[in-house]
A = this chain, B = another copy of it.
Amino acid sequence: MIYTITLNPAIDRLLFLEKELTKRKTNRTSKVTYDIGGKGTHGSYAMTRLGVSNLALGFAGERNFAAFEEILMQKEISHRFIQIPKGLTRESIVVIEPDNQGSTMLTEPSFSVGEAEKQQLLLFLKKYLTEEDIVLIAGSLPENFQINDLAELIQAAKEKQAFVACDLSGEALLLAAQLGVDFIKPNEFELTELLSEKTGTVEEALEQLSREITCIAASKGEKGSICYYEGKQYQVLAPKVKEINDTGAGDCFVGAFLAEFSKCKDIKEALKTGSACAASKVQYEDSSYFDPKEADILKQQVKIIEL
């Protein structure tokens, strides 16, 4: 089973403006749609669309739980979120201007997580996780969920010998690397930061890091991405597509990659599927939608070069 953990989910409210956004004026929207926000849930969505069974875990506010759950149900995401009493799942307001002029994001503060809810999540992992399982911990940390709480969560999953994947950033990513999880997805800047903690040349530092972490998928922006897996390096060249919106492409990659990896344990196949699904995703306005059939065709165009 694959479990995704979204500690700080959001409800994305997409406002489609009639005209360009004008500051300090009234801007009329022609359409409003809702999407789920939070990297873990996006991962679950990608897995679900690929037909790979998974369960989305995490915290969600009690006050707007019905609205949150409605979107999960629409997206057919199996879930078991722990409700934060009196909490409100934050909304991320995405203001979309006409003619692909770009989007402006307004993010709200998160709910505050109590000790009881933290224990509930830990208890769930301790009870149900097995060494056959994959756990994806993704996204930001909500208020009152400290770095040591995250450490406890990762340790609990590691103790059960599950495959622990982390799509985190900043301090949380450093912690995941220190604890030696099985998968991380740093960007160029984060990779440099991770390596700065190591000694020797860049190559030696990388060699050292990849001995501690089974799989490192490092995105290098325009230059594509590099994957370090079991002592080997792979360059991933994504297919060229007409990009409409790249928001959520990374989440789509991670979800699809883990879905494929859970089935075949073949790193090249998993990288191809992740890359192809992400390439399908960027062609849509939506921040999560992609077409698995289109991805199947795009998969043939993904190039994996062993370095």
Contacts and interface: CB of A to CB of B under 8 A. Distances in A.
Q: Which of A25, A28, A30, A106 counts the most B-chain CB atoms under 10 A from its CB?
A: A106
A191 B271 CA distance: 67
A236 to B, nearest CB: 27
Question: Interface SS of chain A: helix, strand, loop or mixed?
Answer: strand
A15 B109 CA distance: 10
A179 interface: no
Interface in A13-33: 15, 17, 21-32
Nearest to A29: B108
A54 to B, nearest CB: 27
Interface in A94-120: 95, 102-109
Contacts of A29: 106-109
A24 B107 contact: no
Contact of A15 (B17, B31, B102, B108): B108
A27 B105 contact: yes
Given A22-B104, A23-B102, A27-B104, 6 more contacts: A21-B104, A23-B23, A23-B104, A25-B105, A26-B105, A95-B106
26 contacts: A15-B108, A17-B106, A21-B23, A21-B104, A22-B104, A23-B23, A23-B102, A24-B102, A24-B103, A25-B104, A25-B105, A26-B107, A27-B104, A27-B105, A27-B106, A27-B107, A29-B107, A29-B108, A29-B109, A30-B109, A31-B109, A32-B108, A32-B109, A93-B93, A93-B106, A95-B106
